[in-house]
Structure 1
Amino acid sequence: MPVRVESSTPSLISGADPKQTTPQACTLLSVGQAFSGTQNVSNNQKDEAWRVNVRIQGLDLEHGYLCGTMEALNVPMADTPVVTFWEGEIVDGKNYNFFTGKWQAAPEEDIRHWTKFPSFAPLMNQVEVDGGKSLDLSNYPCIFMRWKEQYFVNVGTDCGLTIAGFYYVCFSCSDGSINGFYYDPNSSPFQKLELKSTNEGRSGFSFSSYELQ
């Protein structure tokens, strides 16, 4: 069962132990956990959604790190499902804050994307001040992250897709759902990622296994 959250109100940290900012352990965010859903890649010319599977391969809450694979199943220009390996940053105020500071994402762009998530609203004022460094998010009902695809696992770079951008991600600790928005200045804006936690043995989903080098 998912971990119950005692409080959904963020607090400010004043001289607190940095360990207090570590996000809560959530049973639905764990190594081996799988998620399934869609990524909307609509633009002015077309309206299209790709089926997407994600699996968590590694997780280190203390250092704000996680990694996994993403599999896009019905990519029009690819003959096979396209699998990428990604690494993630968990926004915890200690290792990473809400300001990305790289990947061509200015603070204004960060705010534009984070505000797409309703659960970000109570954090907005403090994030504008210091990127959220002084917020204690350890009991917050959502975990905010960035996912950056690092390389293609099963296809070459000539597959017609780009992994130049990254995802702003919001994970719900109550039901394991994931919402995200892809950011790449050279791609269609606000491509939405919507995933739900799956239990492979009961839901009927099956996922391929990949050897990561």
Structure 2
Amino acid sequence: MPVRVVENSTPSHASGVNPECALPPACSLLSVGQAFAGTQNVSSVQKDEAWRVNVKIQGCDLDHGYLCGTMEALNVPLADTPVVTFWEGEIVDIKNYTFFTNKWEATSETDVRHWSKFQSFSPLLSQVEVDGGKSLDLSNYPYIFMRWKEQNFVNVGIDCGLTIAGFYYVCFSCTDGSINGFYYDPNSSPFQKLELKSKNEGGSGFRFSSYQLQ
């Protein structure tokens, strides 16, 4: 499967959003240094497989709907070492980004189909189908919706057996810091599920190896 590395890491804002809309709630569990651990199910018709995954947030700017971090896959079959990628995220805050992606080969139908996989999205569905959610007020909603796009490999080459051509639809719980996501790439197995739990409960962090981001 071909691997496509995106050269431009500058986030592009959605057009036509309402600048007066309130931002999603600030959440201490979604901040720089927060770490998460869990799995990504990559099962296909031929095999049932899940990778252990670690995620760490490296940057967060709620005013601009932006965050970034690293993702580490630990048991990738074709890789001799854990595979680390750098990703950038768009927070669906209506001010900067709506629920409609408008890029990365995702149509509005693709968006609705993936967002609808999250139970927490159900109360928002009817309005999102109309205008991408531009008139919604998410300031007190207990969930934060995001898109995560892997930009480059950190510690391996593009021949590691993984593709970063797609992106993740992500739902973050402000209550317990859990993360659920679904990977979208037209050329990969559909609806690969990402399930992560916060590793910072009680002040105890999750220790990551050190990687230098270029």
Q: TM-score, normalised by structure 1?
A: 0.89
Aligned position for 2:173: 172
Paired residue for 1:208? 209
Q: How has the CA–CA distance of structure 1 residues 62 and 205 changed in structure 2, closer, same or farther, with 3 Å as cutoff?
A: closer
SS, match of residue 146 in structure 2: strand
Q: Is the Cα contact below 8 Å between 2:19 and 2:96 reproduced in 1? A: no
Instruction: Name the aligned partner's letter for residue 24 of structure 1.
Output: P
Shift, 1:195, TM fit: 0.1
Which residue in the other structure is 2:125 paired with? Answer: 124
Matched residue of 1:135: which SS?
coil
What residue ranges of structure 2 are gaps of 5+ in the alignment? 1-17
Query: How far apart are 1:211 and its partner, in Å?
Result: 1.1
- Larger mean CA deviation between 200-209 and 96-105 belongs to 200-209
Equivalent residue runs for 1:2-13 within 5 Å = none
Q: What root-mean-square deviation, in Å, do the aligned CA atoms of Structure 1 and Structure 2 show?
A: 1.5
Match of 2:149 in 1: 148
Question: Contact conserved, 1:99 with 1:107, CA < 8 A, in 2?
Answer: yes
Q: Distance in 1 between matches of 2:62 and 2:42?
A: 31
Distance 2:19 2:74 in 1: 44
In the TM superposition, what whole-angstrom CA distance separates every residue of 1:74-106 from its partner, at most 9, and x where no partner exists? 000000000000000000111000000000000
Matched, 1:90 2:91: yes
Match of 2:30 in 1: 29
Q: In structure 2, what is the Cα distance between the partners aligned to 1:114 and 1:199?
A: 27
- Alignment identity in percent? 82
Aligned partner of residue 117 in structure 2, secondary structure: coil
The one-letter amino acid of 1:125's match is S
For the Cα contact (< 8 Å) 1:84–1:153, is it kept in 2?
Answer: yes
**Which whole-Å deviations, capped at 9, do the CAs of 1:154-212 have from their partners, x for residues lacking one?**
00011111000000000000000000000000000000000000028876843112111
Paired position in structure 1 for 2:5: none
Q: Could you tell me how far 1:21 is from its partner in structure 2? A: 1.9
Alignment partners' CA distance in 1, 2:129 and 2:22: 19
Q: 1:58 to 1:76 in 2, by over 3 A?
A: same
2:69 aligned residue: 68
Q: 1:166 to 1:139 in 2, by over 3 A?
A: same
Q: Is the 8 A contact 1:68 1:87 kept in 2?
A: yes
Distance 1:199 1:31 in 2: 12
* Rounded Cα–Cα distance in structure 1 between residues aligned with 2:202 and 2:187: 39
1:157 aligns with 2:142: no
1:99-114 map, 5 Å: 99-114=100-115
1:129 is paired with a residue of what secondary structure? helix
1:200–1:206 Cα contact (<8 Å) kept: no
Per the alignment, residue 5 of structure 1 pairs with: none
1:92–1:74 CA distance, 2 compared to 1 (3 A): same
Counterparts of 2:116 and 2:63 in 1: how far apart (Å)?
26
Match for residue 185 of structure 1? 186
Q: Distance in 1 between matches of 2:132 and 2:205?
A: 41
Structure 2 equivalent of residue 10 of structure 1: none
SS of equivalent to 2:60? strand
